Amino acid sequence: MSAAPVSPFIYLASQSPRRSQLLDQLGVAHQILVADAAEDAESLEMALKNEAPLAYVKRVTALKLEASVARMQRRGLPEAPILCADTTVAKGRVIYGKPENEADAVRMLTALSGSTHRVLTAVSVASGKKRLQAVSVSQVTFAKMTKAQIMRYVATGEPMGKAGSYAVQGGAAAFIAHISGSYSGIMGLPMFETAQLLRQIGMHN
């Protein structure tokens, strides 16, 4: 019995231009598969009471993946593997998600200033009935930031929509004293783990 043909592309279930760019860097052809307006995508990111950051990011990514599979089928799209990722920032057991507004971004950055936190990015892949997942955990150390520095950074608008209220590849880099782990994972898609998952479904050499 011959093996099923490998799809020439994957679906990326993310609106993040950074994740798309990182897939391009890996040479993986992909199409964007984002949520319908009717889908309550935000509710998938709600943390459970006392949920540990690692359990949270794994659960949310798995939920996003299943929602994406249902979306592909509902739209009658050609079958292809789906890749989904979720990034969270954590200090101890405290999860720092996307800021609700500028004041929330200031709160988060103030808490992260002058200390080390973790960035956890889970990647999930669906290929037919197969489900695969990997998690990248990195550590980021911020130098002490003044209130004025935090306010100026928040005023750029960059923190909005970002876990922990910052983008490692953006203006926040001026305050990052040390990184341990995966730079691409901190950006939102750990390339090593992603390539491994895609290799397991025959999509990457």
- Say which CATH number the domain at 105 has: 3.90.950.10
If pLDDT is split at 50, 70 and 90, which confidence band does 147 have? very high
Contact yes or no for 117/89 (Cβ under 8 A): yes
Q: Which domain holds residue 153?
A: 10-200
In a domain, 118, yes or no: yes
In a domain, 5, yes or no: no
Exactly one of 24, 40, 86, 104 is catalytic; name it: 86
Does pLDDT of 37 surpass 80?
no
Does pLDDT of 194 surpass 80?
yes
DSSP for residue 47: P
In a domain, 3, yes or no: no
Q: pLDDT of 121-146, one tens digit each?
A: 999 999 999 999 999 999 999 999 99
Nearest CA among 123, 105, 120 for reference residue 198: 123
Does pLDDT of 5 surpass 70?
no
Mean pLDDT confidence for 177-202:
96
Q: pLDDT of 61-82, one tens digit each?
A: 999 999 999 999 999 999 999 9
In a domain, 164, yes or no: yes
- Using CA atoms, how far residue 34 sits from 16, 17, 25, 161, 162, in Å, is 10, 12, 21, 16, 17
Contact yes or no for 132/87 (Cβ under 8 A): no
In a domain, 2, yes or no: no
In a domain, 205, yes or no: no
What domain count does the chain have?
Answer: 1
In a domain, 71, yes or no: yes
- Residue 24 designated active-site: no
183: tokens are 């730079």
If pLDDT is split at 50, 70 and 90, which confidence band does 40 have? confident
In a domain, 120, yes or no: yes
Mean pLDDT confidence for 26-41:
86
- Using CA atoms, how far residue 13 sits from 4, 67, 180, in Å, is 23, 9, 27
Cα gap 6→201, rounded to integer Å = 8
